[in-house]
Amino acid sequence: MKNKILFLIITIILCIPNINASATEIPDNLKKQADEMQLDADAAIVMDAKTGEILFSKNINKQEYPASITKLMTVLLAFENCKLDDVVTFSHNAVYSIEPGSSNIGINENEKLTVDQCLYAILFRSANEVANGIGEHIDGNLDTFAKHMTERAKELGAKNTNFVNANGLHDKSHYTSAYDMALIAKEILKYPHFKEILATRNYEIPPTNLCNETRYLHNQTQLINPSSIFYYKDSEGGKTGYTDQARNTLVSYAKRGDTEIVCVVLHSSGYGEYYDTMKLFDYALNNFKTQKLCSAGDKCTTITLEKPPAENKKSFLFFNKNEPETTEEPKTVDLNFKDDVYATLLSSDKAENITAKKTIKDGLAQVHCGDICGSVVYEYKGTQLGKTDLLAACDAGIPAPAAKDDKSKSKAINILKIIAAIVLILIFIFGMYLFVGHIKYSRKKRLRQRRLRRYRESGYQNIYSLDRKKRKE
């Protein structure tokens, strides 16, 4: 049991690389405010979208029916596995397996839509048959897609989630939790087009291969509708859900300045999901803020490499892309941040009190671009907020040997070696052929010369008579 708990904790940490602690303990007055908040929802959570920090929680690990907020998982897999201009062809099963009267946009069997059009239909009209079509397009059938959904949720750190369909229509085996849905909702923010869709008020799907009319879609999220009593100026939109068993569910986003939050409410009644969400938005945005501590690729510091040992002085070479000439003097090298690092602070915390402690490796006489040369740790009044590695911005020092993984280069060299060996072998064989031929020719020449000398010494007649006599015999 302990090993399982440890595994879950490690999984969550790996899936949220920039989890950071709050700068200070939450004051008692804020704890009291959170405890006294009257919510209609049975479960709720507010999470910092950048750090994963939980700002408010109520029954966040309780298993609940999600209804149509399930479709956020379907949308996430579409972003991860499809191109926006991919074409989805709807099967009979995708169109006719949904409950009669449930949300749809009237798709026909064998009708075709692009993935992008499907995303708008799912997020604006919660179209169940369109979610089915996306699932079949990605994994071939809905059962495999449901398993894919659950596996991906677990990869993100979900602990109480099991999906059995792509749309969220009720099934007693189809459930999630507020915490798990927050992880899923946070992950989709990596895709800018998702936020573009949420911020859009109206969308049109033009006539298709089987529909001659334009489909007009309207964003149904009340939080971004200026004419709605639930309009919230800092809201970025969200996804609603409802079934008789799940009641009202809502996943939404809000942003104020650099602070962006994810809010999930489950099993609410009437319009309670909106009232709850607005309360939670106020609580989180008024009392917390997100501070960006550094940006990936930005310069952190500059270091000077150490001088080489005296015995290696002649072979020591420093080089830089901008300075092709060589020198025996050490060079300076910029070190850049490896990651974006964020911290969740209380609104009253002062960013100038954040300290950055740099640690640089000792004995650096050579570096290659991208080498880890140190790290930086951010703290606020003794509490660690986050850390990241420092990477060399360029090459400096002794020239790097050929990269071990430069397969194409080594392969070319090996081919040249083989060709050279073959040429040498052919030259050797040809040389031996000439040598043997020369020996044979010399031997025949000597035999002819001997016969000629004998002929001259004994006279032609004697040799002729002797030859004649031999022939008679």
Given a cut of 70, whether residue 198 has pLDDT beyond it is yes
Q: Are the CB atoms for 321 and 399 separated by under 8 Å?
A: no
Q: What is the pLDDT of residue 119?
A: 98
State the angle between helix axes of 71-81 and 115-125 in degrees (0 to 180), rounded to the nearest 10.
160
Kind and range of the H or E run holding 378? strand 372-380
At 116, which amino acid appears? Answer: D
From CA 166, how far away is CA 132, in angstroms rounded? 6
Count of Cβ atoms closer than 10 Å to residue 270 Cβ: 10
Q: Which of 243, 247, 197 is nearest to 220 (CA)?
A: 197
φ, ψ for residue 86 (rounded to 5)? -60, 150
CA-wise closest residue to 205 among 141, 123, 145:
123
Split at pLDDT 50, 70, 90, the class of 309 is low
**pLDDT: which is higher, 12 or 380:** 380
Of 361, 426, 425, 429, the closest CA to residue 391 belongs to 361
User: What gap in Å lies between CA 78 and CA 97, rounded to an integer?
Assistant: 20
With a cut of 70, say whether residue 403 has pLDDT above it.
no
Phi, psi of 139 (to 5 degrees): -120, 5
Structure confidence by residue, pLDDT tens digits, 109-149: 999 999 999 999 999 999 999 999 999 999 999 999 999 99
Longest dimension (CA), the chain: 144
pLDDT of residue 308: 64
Strand order from edge to edge, sheet including 383-392: 299-304, 332-337, 383-392, 372-380, 354-360
pLDDT in tens, 17-51: 333 445 546 778 888 888 888 999 999 999 999 99
Q: Could you tell me the sign of the dihedral formed by the alpha carbons of 166, 168, 170, 174, in that order?
A: positive
Cα separation, 368 vs 125, whole angstroms: 52
Token reading at 97 = 């397996």
Report, as an integer, the average pLDDT of 265-284. 95
Instruction: Output the six-digit token pair for 52.
Output: 């994963």
Strands 247-256 and 235-243: antiparallel
CB 178 within 8 A of CB 264: yes
Q: What is the mean pLDDT of residues 209-221?
A: 95
Is residue 112 within 8 A of residue 120, CB to CB? The reply is no
At residue 314 the predicted structure's pLDDT band, cuts being 50, 70 and 90, is very low
Question: DSSP class of residue 313?
Answer: T
Please check whether the domain covering 37-287 is classified as CATH 3.40.710.10.
Answer: yes
Percent of the chain with pLDDT over 90: 63
What is the secondary structure of 111-145 as a DSSP string? -EEEHHHHHHHHHHH--HHHHHHHHHHHHSSHHHH
- Is the distance from CB of 214 to CB of 205 less than 8 angstroms? yes
Q: Say which residue, 18 or 252, is predicted with more confidence.
A: 252
What was the pLDDT predicted at 107?
97
330 close to 305: Cβ distance less than 8 angstroms: yes
Residue range 294-392 forms a domain whose CATH class is mainly beta
| 162 Cβ neighbours under 8 A, 6+ residues apart | 150, 173, 174, 175, 176
288-294 and 259-268: which strand pairing?
A: unpaired
Every domain of the chain and the residues it spans: 37-287, 294-392, 417-472
How many whole angstroms separate alpha carbon 42 and alpha carbon 428? 89
pLDDT(452) > 80: no
Looking at the predicted structure, is the pLDDT value of residue 4 above 60?
no
Taking the C-alpha atoms of residue 217 and residue 410, their distance in angstroms, rounded to an integer, is: 57
Q: Give the mean model confidence (pLDDT) for residues 344-367.
A: 90
pLDDT band at 60 (very low <50, low <70, confident <90, very high): very high
The span from the CA of 265 to the CA of 323, in Å, is 58
CB 349 within 8 A of CB 311: no
Cα gap 255→251, rounded to integer Å: 14
The C-alpha R_g of the chain, in whole angstroms, comes to 39
Average pLDDT of the residues in 237-246: 96
pTM over 0.85? The answer is no
Say if residues 168 and 71 touch (Cβ distance below 8 Å): yes
Euclidean distance between CA atoms 261 and 252, whole angstroms: 8
| Predicted pLDDT at 301 | 93
User: Does the pLDDT at position 317 exceed 80?
Assistant: no
Residue 473 and residue 459: Cα distance in Å, rounded?
A: 22
Q: What is the pLDDT of residue 31?
A: 83
| pLDDT tops 50 at residue 10 | no
Q: Extract the tokens encoding 283.
A: 């609580």
What average pLDDT does the chain have? 86
